Chains A and B, each alone.
Chain A
């Protein structure tokens, strides 16, 4: 490589290097961001309303039936969802990654679609489909079988109903983990098994399944966590069904008069459980990494399904009916129907819902503006923070880089609703009164987005050779200058992808936003949630479709970026 010294090289020796102060500032900001809400959460959980120290909040948590019931419900719900997700997603991941099933790319794309669909929107759509009496599917069932008006096939307002809807939007997590793991398993291991005389079945049982098992286990844990901490779907479906989950219970504690101490105490078990399970996941995934390290030898071998190819595809599409085709269809139907529970036909076709959302609903403009501002700024700030921290940790520029990396990943252990409670108690009191401003939402969204963004960029940094940066430094550029002029452009694709992922994550965030918004700082997800409470399903359908269009525009943009891997999104 030929380097020409820039003409201004001697000027830089007089320039003050802002790199260290910047890194220190980022470290302090990060510590405040993560540690303050958690500290206040713990503080509140251990104090009574008058400010005296007490364990009574936890006492009430373990003795009061109105807390024990939701806890049991949540555990049943999380375990069932995890099991269902694995049973559905693991075979699908295998079909896509290891067989010659047709339309594999399309199936992957459709799983991505269910990945980015906001779970609360899916829940509303499933209300339209499977409410016991007015649900479209139940109507079809009655027409098809000639059953009585009160008979129904599905009842979404039930625990199985909630488990089903949660699984619809959680299974992609398992799918992605399993498919990616199977992508990486080298075909020659299976070849070795065949050469040694193993039948296809033996190979699958003795080689493929054991190799994929850690990913399935990790997927199960993630699915469990997602189901446990999900707020939107249960908030929409569980109340009509007559039960609470932990997240909806915590949220109900914010009713007047708000019981912040109890909310804080109820949040901590979710936090502890999440930390424990994520540790477990790290251990499990660590094992998998060991077993196939460096093993990739060209394209892995695809298993011919023969005449079962199309049957496999049919099964895959049958699964995808639930998170994608049916809900989207129901939303479209509701957007144009005078009565959301009736099929659109010439006699009930209406544009009223669209007119209502755009020309009557005065919160639409504010919510769109806020959402756009927050998406853009959270994506930008989150990406910059993640980049600086990833730089600091991967280049070991400062002494406490390990702690910094830990702090940047720590929010992954904080469920959205817990973070919402934590931020609320932190920023409604001095010294930082941010409640009522967009700042508190920005803080929430950046904190939520940081772990995935950081991990994404950190792995990107590993593939950039430090030589290039050192050359820049030798020629007199500061660390920050180098980061901005050399490293960032080299990481362009990862940086753009990270930005887009934060953007999508923020559009669909509900659980923290619902705790932190005020009338001036409403976002679309909260607006949809509000509309659901008064049963304005047509308006929700219109807003939801717009939200999906936005999201897919960004997803398509990401897919245009070559060589981009998957990043985890959080449920809301």
Chain B
């Protein structure tokens, strides 16, 4: 399949509007009617008996979500297909190019993927009741194709046994200090959607020179954005240049020696939507699962156990974590990421040599 059906390039021209403004379109267009969970839906889902969830959520969070769904709706098995968001995207493209329709519901930490899928007509319009009632307009697609299931930040972090709080880096610029040479771990934008999104935002706001200098710090390169916090917890590296805030929270709250730093330049915000595929092999189970994902029950799990942020208006941050409103954020721009993705990967590979 040399010619993938979905090409980011062809969409480059049309990327004038940013994703945020696309989300926030004031026109309450012909989005589908919100769907509540009915006995008929549950019954139809149970007949299908299974649902395939392709996601980039770290497994120790993704699997408990699946288990919670299975406990609530016995007889419907969730299969979590977890890999980095960029791989999820590649896998789905590859499968669809070979006419394999295995994915029911998708979650990706690279929000630009949803623009591509939506434009290719692969997504099914579907709005769970919770999304209609309790989600802000800027976190959902006006046509009802997707909504932000979870959000997290890509942050700097450090191992508290190896670095004292006052010595910890406060900003991206601090990471370029020679005292951090050989002590930094970092994830890869060719694998992780979180890092793809973060790399775009940092290169836009700070510039590629930052990455060029960072590459001279002999960084340890890993793939998933979930891995740098784990490498900190192992004590393998003292500082992480990027990686998931939510995994840091999980480790910290279970007693691990890690701490997050919100860089003074701003922390990249990564909102990760959920969507259904039109050709989903288990359409009813997919819809039921989508409803469950946005329910307060699941969102509470995502926040409390998972360490993530929720846009559900009824869900509050867990005490002890710094609320989003107190953190300086970098601006999200999924449409721009969509246009630049290939270029970002190529540029990054050139700088970091992997």
A→B interface (CB under 8 Å): 44, 49, 51, 66, 69, 131-134, 149-150, 157, 238-240, 242-244, 252, 254-258, 260-261, 339-341, 356, 360-363, 366, 428-429, 433, 435-436, 518-520, 530-531, 533-537, 539
Contact yes or no, A242 B353, CB < 8 A? yes
Contact yes or no, A361 B100, CB < 8 A? no
- Cβ of B66 within 8 Å of any chain A Cβ, yes or no, is yes
Query: Which chain B residue shows the least CB distance to A429?
Result: B1
Contact yes or no, B235 A341, CB < 8 A? yes
Query: Which chain B residue shows the least CB distance to A255?
Result: B190
- Cβ of B305 within 8 Å of any chain A Cβ, yes or no, is no
- What total of A-B pairs shows CB separation below 8 Å? 149
Known: A49-B3, A257-B7, A534-B230. 15 other contacts (CB 8 A): A66-B350, A66-B353, A131-B236, A132-B236, A240-B222, A254-B90, A256-B89, A258-B90, A260-B2, A360-B63, A518-B94, A533-B222, A533-B227, A535-B227, A539-B59
CB-defined contacts of A255 to chain B, threshold 8 Å: 86-87, 90, 190, 345
- Cβ of B102 within 8 Å of any chain A Cβ, yes or no, is yes
CB-defined contacts of A133 to chain B, threshold 8 Å: 234-237
CB-defined contacts of A131 to chain B, threshold 8 Å: 234, 236
A339 to B236, CA, bound (A): 12
Contact yes or no, B231 A362, CB < 8 A? no
Query: Which chain B residue shows the least CB distance to A352?
Result: B60
Contact yes or no, A252 B83, CB < 8 A? no
Contact of B98 among A238, A340, A436, A539 (CB under 8 A): A436
Interface residues of B in 339-354 (CB under 8 A from A): 342, 345, 349-350, 352-354
Q: How far is the CB of B267 from chain A (nearest CB, A)?
A: 21
Q: How far is the CB of A224 from chain B (nearest CB, A)?
A: 24
20 sample A-B contacts, Cβ–Cβ < 8 Å, listed by A number: A44-B2, A49-B3, A239-B222, A240-B222, A242-B218, A242-B221, A243-B353, A255-B86, A361-B63, A362-B78, A363-B79, A428-B1, A433-B98, A433-B99, A436-B102, A518-B95, A534-B59, A534-B226, A535-B227, A535-B231
Query: Which chain A residue shows the least CB distance to B161?
Result: A149
- Cβ of B171 within 8 Å of any chain A Cβ, yes or no, is no
CB-defined contacts of A252 to chain B, threshold 8 Å: 190
Contact yes or no, B100 A518, CB < 8 A? yes
Contact yes or no, B234 A339, CB < 8 A? yes
Given A239-B221, A243-B353, A518-B100, are A360 and B90 also a contact pair (CB < 8 Å)? no
Query: Which chain B residue shows the least CB distance to A149?
Result: B162
- Cβ of B84 within 8 Å of any chain A Cβ, yes or no, is yes
Q: Mark B255-293, 1 if CB is under 8 A from A, else 0.
A: 010000000000000000000000000000000000000
Closest 10 CB pairs of A and B: A535-B227, A256-B90, A436-B100, A134-B236, A535-B230, A534-B224, A519-B81, A134-B234, A360-B63, A341-B234
Contact yes or no, A534 B227, CB < 8 A? yes
Query: Which chain A residue shows the least CB distance to B100?
Result: A436
- Cβ of B233 within 8 Å of any chain A Cβ, yes or no, is yes
- Cβ of B77 within 8 Å of any chain A Cβ, yes or no, is yes
Contact yes or no, B81 A363, CB < 8 A? yes
CB-defined contacts of A362 to chain B, threshold 8 Å: 63, 66, 77-80
Contact yes or no, A518 B2, CB < 8 A? no
- Cβ of B191 within 8 Å of any chain A Cβ, yes or no, is yes
Query: Which chain B residue shows the least CB distance to A260?
Result: B2
CB-defined contacts of B2 to chain A, threshold 8 Å: 44, 49, 51, 258, 260-261
Given A339-B234, A361-B63, A518-B102, are A239 and B223 also a contact pair (CB < 8 Å)? yes
Given A242-B353, A534-B59, are A339 and B233 also a contact pair (CB < 8 Å)? yes
Contact yes or no, B1 A134, CB < 8 A? no
- Cβ of B64 within 8 Å of any chain A Cβ, yes or no, is yes
- Cβ of B97 within 8 Å of any chain A Cβ, yes or no, is yes
Contact yes or no, A257 B67, CB < 8 A? no
Given A256-B93, A361-B63, A533-B224, are A244 and B83 also a contact pair (CB < 8 Å)? no
Query: Which chain A residue shows the least CB distance to B191?
Result: A533
Given A239-B354, A255-B190, A257-B7, are A134 and B222 also a contact pair (CB < 8 Å)? no
Q: How far is the CB of A298 from chain B (nearest CB, A)?
A: 56
